Amino acid sequence: MVIGGKVYGVGCGNDWEDIFLISACYGSLWSFLIAFFALLLKGAVDSDEKNTLLYMYLTFGVIYVILVGLGVYTGQMQKDELARKKAKMGLDADAVLPVDDDE
């Protein structure tokens, strides 16, 4: 977003298209987990007393949380790398890097 000739990131440096794409990905993952939980809960009610299916859901939920955490961590690593590049070039934190055709 450009206001008064200065570039502002809409959300954590992302534009509207990126925010929509990220939101859609998280929404689809959460929808999958909720549907998977409903399926496993139905299976647990209809089957054994040990609730093995619910433990499977717990395992998938923990894996999901780990993947989201890794996504946040790698995003922070990318942000730190960008800050290092800007510092190396002598630019301030709000400056926009010049476009490099090699990337």
Domain limits of the chain?
A: 2-89
Does 40 score more than 80 pLDDT? Answer: no
Please enumerate in sequence order all residues whose Cβ is within 8 A of that of 26, keeping only pairs 6 or more positions apart, or say none: 68
Name the 3-class secondary structure at 103: coil
52 alpha carbon, distance to own chain's centre: 29
| Cα–Cα distance for residue pair 28/79, rounded to 1 Å | 25
Task: Give residue 55's pLDDT.
Answer: 81
* Entry pTM: 0.51
How large is the average pLDDT for residues 50-54?
74
Chain mean pLDDT for the chain: 79
